[in-house]
């Protein structure tokens, strides 16, 4: 036959199928025999695995059931009535709790030695015996963890029960062992609710000694009795497994067992051998008969279906040719699996080619849209940067001319300051977005009271609101709203939201800020009566570079502020949401942050009001080589009634400290000859030799996380990035003032 096959180049498909069937018949006989043997072993392994899994699930259910009792006892162990030696109040509490627990028989309080001090089965004050299960008492004392005791007969009432023991900790030691005595019926509920496949299965729970605590069959006969000796050896040697045994009632069974990881008890499932071995035998007989039938049918079927398969393969070839010419292949189903899969693959290939063409068109449209968005953003950026520069350069030129009156000079300074702040805001937003995209935005996390943050942000935005004729109200809860966060970034979030509200609220409108604590979260809301948000734009409110239609007429902004707010809130583990009833109906932004887990939640500092002249009397030395910056800092601090001295270099500052006993040192970092780091090193060296302690602030344009860490490592108490707002500087120095005063004392 092989020679004939090699001499013929082409054969009809039907002949190939017949040859395949004839060649397959002999190995199929051997293969069927092998399959029967393997299936038998596999079926038995599957049943054994199922038994072990069932035992493991039963052990897990036991631990879960015991955990409910442990939770109740742990709650009772915290009672103040257990703080002292008098147990009268706790006895009353135990009598109240006992009826609420269906399977609890008694509640007892024991000394670590095992001596009972109180038992609800006896009046308070009655002399009581020691615990029946001293081993579990010792384990609870030694491990300081909840313990499930072994099954035992109570000395008071003689019933079979077991104890759940929880150590009562006071001042780091075990003062008592709180014990709940549960009847064996409590375990019956566990084994009844266990998932089962056969009624023939017997389930049982045994304690550490192998004594039966619960059994689904004849529990009244076997509860309290030990299992077979072989069973005892098996559960002692391994945590889980399966073996053959004869039960204590004489049945030949497979026994699967698993030890509960927490309680130490063992769950066992016993199944008669006939139940395990019968189904595989029946299945093997069925498989053998089916194999013989299939061998017979396959020989006849190969010849009958050969012609049909050949015709379908020809149709598949036609479909492939259609795809080559860009046409859709015909929708025809074949009765042969492989041919049907080939036809389906051809149809899917055709559909995939069409989808890729469509996807290519969509990607092209997206690329064009992204390019337009880039051009729009660059145009907006150019406009937003140039507009403030126009005002700054224009007014600066008029100031330099010296021809402006006093009122006009004041107006010029206001315009220059306002537009410079706008420029700084735009640059800060661009830098923040750059850090966000690069994943380099980091937080300096510490416990922060949001009430102080809200107050500071409100004070910052109040002049802008009043200048526009808006009412800006701030309401705070009485209780501390302390979160773990970066105070500067949280204030940035609030200032951005308030700035947005002020920008889009018309004259005579209102902006309300509120902070409260709800369900272990601090919630800050900013509500305005402004133009509102279009419902179609609301889902995109926090997208980068996206602005609603109202932004066209509201000057300022790159569409980054709310995107930065959203990212900063997410970094703090919180959420931010926007609400609006539509155009002209105002908007509300809600920031929700989880409360801090710090222990001193009530130690919240009161909000700072820079108008209170909080720096009055403070001696401050300011060091900066840039005259304009130095003059601005001295003026801002002098307005706060501080005693301010100035120096233009590190050497001048060191000389000044000889005669000027400063409380706070504010120093630039980048200075010629000696920089700020060299200055603080010398200051701290003098302090170690007995000089007066000075609180130090690094004021620098190097504002990255690494720069902050370097400044603190060098000896600075605080790092503030340039440009700095005078009010923020005053608030920061006010926070250092108590430290400086303590050092002076």
**What pLDDT sits at residue 400?**
85
Pairing mode, if any, of strands 147-148 and 160-170? Answer: antiparallel
Residue, of 623 and 288, whose pLDDT is higher: 623
Burial environment of residue 8 by CB neighbours within 10 A (0 to 12, 13 to 18, 19 or more): exposed
The b-or-e profile of 94-133 (16+ CB within 10 A means b, else e) is: beebeeeeebbbbbbbbbbebebbbbbbeebeeebeebbb
pLDDT band at 158; cut points 50, 70, 90: low
Query: E strand or H helix at 402, and its extent?
Result: none
Which of the residue ranges 183-192, 297-306, 466-475, 540-549 would you say has the lowest mean pLDDT?
297-306
Percent of the chain with pLDDT over 90: 20
**What pLDDT sits at residue 553?**
41
64-74 mean pLDDT: 87
Domains and their CATH numbers in the chain: 1-322 (3.30.450.20), 333-441 (1.10.287.130), 443-594 (3.30.565.10), 612-744 (3.40.50.2300)
The pLDDT tens digits for 352-380 are 777 777 788 888 877 676 566 566 666 66
Report the alpha-carbon distance of residue 718 to residue 697 in Å, rounded.
5
Of the spans 37-51, 293-307, 519-533, 546-560, which averages the highest pLDDT? 519-533
CB atoms closer than 10 angstroms to residue 281: 12
149-153 own/partner pairs: CB under 8 Å, 24+ apart: 149/207, 150/207, 150/208, 150/209, 150/211, 151/184, 151/207, 151/211, 151/212, 151/213, 151/223, 151/224, 153/224
**Taking 80 as the threshold, does the pLDDT of residue 197 lie above it?**
no
221-244 mean pLDDT: 84
Q: How far is CA 102 from CA 98, 183, 383, 613, 706, in A?
A: 8, 10, 76, 67, 62
pLDDT band at 523; cut points 50, 70, 90: very high
**What pLDDT sits at residue 498?**
92
The two three-digit tokens of residue 387, written as one number: 């507009």
Closest CA to 44 of 242, 202, 268, 247: 242
Report the alpha-carbon distance of residue 540 to residue 534 in Å, rounded.
10
Burial environment of residue 5 by CB neighbours within 10 A (0 to 12, 13 to 18, 19 or more): exposed
**What pLDDT sits at residue 345?**
75
**Mean pLDDT of the chain, nearest integer:** 79
pLDDT band at 219; cut points 50, 70, 90: confident
**What pLDDT sits at residue 738?**
56
CB atoms closer than 10 angstroms to residue 635: 11
pLDDT band at 624; cut points 50, 70, 90: very high
Residue, of 426 and 105, whose pLDDT is higher: 105
The two three-digit tokens of residue 714, written as one number: 């060098």
Of the spans 12-16, 29-33, 37-41, 43-47, which averages the highest pLDDT? 43-47
**Taking 60 as the threshold, does the pLDDT of residue 745 lie above it?**
no
**Taking 60 as the threshold, does the pLDDT of residue 6 lie above it?**
no
**What pLDDT sits at residue 546?**
63
**Taking 80 as the threshold, does the pLDDT of residue 28 lie above it?**
no
Closest CA to 736 of 640, 663, 630, 679: 663
pLDDT band at 577; cut points 50, 70, 90: very high
pLDDT band at 592; cut points 50, 70, 90: very high
**Taking 70 as the threshold, does the pLDDT of residue 2 lie above it?**
no
**Rg, C-alpha atoms of the chain:** 41
199-221 mean pLDDT: 80
Please measure the distance between the N-terminal and C-terminal CA atoms of the chain and give it in whole angstroms. 111
pLDDT band at 515; cut points 50, 70, 90: very high
Residue, of 182 and 33, whose pLDDT is higher: 182
**What pLDDT sits at residue 419?**
77
The pLDDT tens digits for 111-157 are 999 899 999 989 988 888 888 788 889 999 999 999 988 887 766 66
The pLDDT tens digits for 264-316 are 888 888 888 777 766 666 666 666 676 666 667 666 666 666 666 666 666 66
**Taking 50 as the threshold, does the pLDDT of residue 598 lie above it?**
no
Percent of the chain with pLDDT over 70: 72
pLDDT band at 609; cut points 50, 70, 90: very low
pLDDT band at 66; cut points 50, 70, 90: confident
**What pLDDT sits at residue 524?**
95
**Taking 60 as the threshold, does the pLDDT of residue 612 lie above it?**
no
Which of the residue ranges 221-225, 341-345, 389-393 would you say has the lowest mean pLDDT?
341-345
pTM of the model: 0.38
pLDDT band at 608; cut points 50, 70, 90: very low
Q: What is the separation of C-alpha 646 from the centre of its chain, rounded to a whole number of angstroms?
A: 49
**What pLDDT sits at residue 441?**
73
**What pLDDT sits at residue 604?**
39
Report the alpha-carbon distance of residue 279 to residue 287 in Å, rounded.
12
Report the alpha-carbon distance of residue 389 to residue 382 in Å, rounded.
11
**Taking 90 as the threshold, does the pLDDT of residue 742 lie above it?**
no
**Taking 60 as the threshold, does the pLDDT of residue 42 lie above it?**
yes
The pLDDT tens digits for 446-477 are 777 888 788 878 877 888 889 889 999 988 77
Residue 376's contacts (CB-CB under 8 Å, 6 or more residues apart) are 545
Of the spans 122-136, 382-396, 647-661, which averages the highest pLDDT? 647-661
**Taking 80 as the threshold, does the pLDDT of residue 426 lie above it?**
no
312-330 mean pLDDT: 64
Q: How far is CA 734 from CA 276, 529, 612, 617, 618, in A?
A: 81, 35, 11, 12, 9
pLDDT band at 246; cut points 50, 70, 90: confident
**Taking 50 as the threshold, does the pLDDT of residue 555 lie above it?**
no
Classify 520 in phi/psi space as left (phi over 0), alpha (psi -120 to 50) or beta. Answer: left
Of the spans 35-49, 409-423, 524-538, which averages the highest pLDDT? 524-538
């Amino acid at each position: 036959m092989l020679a004939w096959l090699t001499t013929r180049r082409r054969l009809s498909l039907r002949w190939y199928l017949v040859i395949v069937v004839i060649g397959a018949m002999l190995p199929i006989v051997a293969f069927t025999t092998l399959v029967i043997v393997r299936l038998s072993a596999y079926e038995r392994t599957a049943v054994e695995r199922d038994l072990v899994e069932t035992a493991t699930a039963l052990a897990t259910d036991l631990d879960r059931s015991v955990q409910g009792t442990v939770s109740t006892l742990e709650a009772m162990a915290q009672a103040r009535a257990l703080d002292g030696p008098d147990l009268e109040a706790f006895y009353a509490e135990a009598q109240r709790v006992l009826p609420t627990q269906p399977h609890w028989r008694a509640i007892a309080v024991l000394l670590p030695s095992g001596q009972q001090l109180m038992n609800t089965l006896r009046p308070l004050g009655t002399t009581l015996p020691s615990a029946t299960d001293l081993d579990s008492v010792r384990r609870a004392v030694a491990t300081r963890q909840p313990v499930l005791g072994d099954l035992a007969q109570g000395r008071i009432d003689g019933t079979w029960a077991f104890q759940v023991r929880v150590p009562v900790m006071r001042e780091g030691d075990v003062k008592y062992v709180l014990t709940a005595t549960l009847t064996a019926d409590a375990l019956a509920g566990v084994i009844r609710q266990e998932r089962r496949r056969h009624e023939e299965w017997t389930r049982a729970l045994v304690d550490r000694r192998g004594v039966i605590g619960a059994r689904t069959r004849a529990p009244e006969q076997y509860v309290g009795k030990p299992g077979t000796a072989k069973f005892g050896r098996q559960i002692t040697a391994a945590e889980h497994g399966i073996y053959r045994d004869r039960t204590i009632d004489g049945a030949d069974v497979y026994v699967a067992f698993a030890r509960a990881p927490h309680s130490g008890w063992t769950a066992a499932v016993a199944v008669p051998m006939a139940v395990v071995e019968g189904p595989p035998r029946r299945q093997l007989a069925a498989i053998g008969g089916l194999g013989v039938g299939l061998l017979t049918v396959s020989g006849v079927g190969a010849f009958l279906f050969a012609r049909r398969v050949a015709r379908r393969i020809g149709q598949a070839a036609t479909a492939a040719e259609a795809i080559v010419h860009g046409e859709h292949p015909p929708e025809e189903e074949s009765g042969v699996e492989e041919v049907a899969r080939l036809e389906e693959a051809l149809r899917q290939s055709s559909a995939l080619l069409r989808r890729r063409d469509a996807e290519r068109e969509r990607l092209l449209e997206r690329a064009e849209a992204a390019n337009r968005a880039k051009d729009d953003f660059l145009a907006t950026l150019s406009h937003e940067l140039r507009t403030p520069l126009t005002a700054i350069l224009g007014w600066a030129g008029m100031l330099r001319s010296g021809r402006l009156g006093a009122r006009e000079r004041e107006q010029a300074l206001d315009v220059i300051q306002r537009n410079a702040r706008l420029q700084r805001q735009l640059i800060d937003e661009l830098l923040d977005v750059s850090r966000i995209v690069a994943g380099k935005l980091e937080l300096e996390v510490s416990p922060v009271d949001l009430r102080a943050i809200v107050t500071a942000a409100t004070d910052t935005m109040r002049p802008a609101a009043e200048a526009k004729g808006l009412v800006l109200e701030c309401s705070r809860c009485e209780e501390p709203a302390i979160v773990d966060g970066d105070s500067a970034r949280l204030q940035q979030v609030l200032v951005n939201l308030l700035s947005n509200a002020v920008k889009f609220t018309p004259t005579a409108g209102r902006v309300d800020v509120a902070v409260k604590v709800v369900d272990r979260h601090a919630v800050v809301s900013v509500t305005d009566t402004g133009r509102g948000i279009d419902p179609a734009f609301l889902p995109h409110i926090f997208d980068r570079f996206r602005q609603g239609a109202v932004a066209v007429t509201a000057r300022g902004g790159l569409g980054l502020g709310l995107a930065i707010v959203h990212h900063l809130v997410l970094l703090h583990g919180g959420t931010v949401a926007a609400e609006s009833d539509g155009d002209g109906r105002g908007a509300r932004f809600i920031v929700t942050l989880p409360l801090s887990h710090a222990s001193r939640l009530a130690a919240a500092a009161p909000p700072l009001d820079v108008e209170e002249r909080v720096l009055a009397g403070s001696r401050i030395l300011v060091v900066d080589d840039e005259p304009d910056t130095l003059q601005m800092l001295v003026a801002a601090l002098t307005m706060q009634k501080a005693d301010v001295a100035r120096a233009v270099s590190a050497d001048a500052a060191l000389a000044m400290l000889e005669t000027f006993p400063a409380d706070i040192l504010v120093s630039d970092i980048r200075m010629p000859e000696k920089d700020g780091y060299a200055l603080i090193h010398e200051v701290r060296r003098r302090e170690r030799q007995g000089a007066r302690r000075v609180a130090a602030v690094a004021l620098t344009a190097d504002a990255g996380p690494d720069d902050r860490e370097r400044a603190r490592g060098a000896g600075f108490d605080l790092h503030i990035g340039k440009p700095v707002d005078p009010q923020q500087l005053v608030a920061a120095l006010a926070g250092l003032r108590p430290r400086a005063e303590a050092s002076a004392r």
